[in-house]
Chain A
Amino acid sequence: MNNRIKELRAKEDLSQLHLAQLVGVRRETIVFLEKGKYNPSLRLAHDIAKHFRLPIEEVFRFDDEAG
């Protein structure tokens, strides 16, 4: 699974710490997500997508997904 968190965060000029505080996790979790070392729970994926006002599938994508 890959994600666009880093890109979306840069667009909003949002720090990892601030995003972590907004979705109620530790900064380390955002670091792991951006590095692709952790797949989030559905709840966290939903919260992050909701923060960026995007559907989950536009933030998180499976590697074998076309497009």
Chain B
Amino acid sequence: MKRTIVGFVVSALVLGGLALWALKGRIAGNAQEIVMAGIVLIVVGFAVYLGVSRLRSHLRHEPGEDELSKSVMTKASSLAYYISIYLWLFVMYISDKTTLEAHSLVGAGIAGMAVVFVLCWLGVKMFGMKNE
């Protein structure tokens, strides 16, 4: 339960930060920033979904985590790590061919890793894991 509350608080803080960033006019509204904000929203949405799912389990007197949810997380993490190696290889490859600054490329790489993890998690959930 504690982890769920922490997850909700962190999600609210991230959303608050994003809203402040947009309201204070620091956001120029170019494509790069819009994509970045979209990625943040996807990752926060994923965290909120996990939190709501744990909360519902708690209300139904089920464990918040069990062997399936732990296995899905482990499998998704290992798959995301493996794919992220190629993602960074791609980032290194395009670093010479783009006008983006190094910090923007690193930010895009980190955001890409988060998106890769969410996609891997969805894939493992959708196709199951039989380990045969």
Residues in chain A within 8 A of chain B (CB atoms): 1, 17, 20-21, 24-29, 32, 35-41, 43-44
- A37, B67: Cβ atoms closer than 8 Å: no
Known: A38-B68, A41-B67. A1 touches B130 (CB 8 A): yes
Return A11 CB to nearest CB of chain B, in Å.
23
Known: A28-B68, A29-B67, A32-B68. A20 touches B62 (CB 8 A): yes
Bound Cα distance A39, B67 (Å): 11
> Among the interface residues A1, A21, A26, which one has the most CB atoms of the partner chain B within 10 A?
A26
How many chain B residues sit at the interface, stated as a range, is 10 to 19
How many pairs, one residue from A and one from B, have CB atoms within 8 Å of each other in the complex?
Answer: 50
B26 close to chain A: CB less than 8 A: no
Bound Cα distance A1, B130 (Å): 8
Bound Cα distance A25, B62 (Å): 6
Bound Cα distance A38, B75 (Å): 12
B25 close to chain A: CB less than 8 A: no
Return B100 CB to nearest CB of chain A, in Å.
41
Q: Which of B62, B63, B67, B130 contacts A44 (CB 8 A)?
A: B67
B132 close to chain A: CB less than 8 A: yes
Q: Which residue of A lies closest to B57 (CB)?
A: A26
> Among the interface residues B67, B69, B71, B131, which one has the most CB atoms of the partner chain A within 10 A?
B67
Q: Which of A21, A37, A43 contacts B130 (CB 8 A)?
A: A37
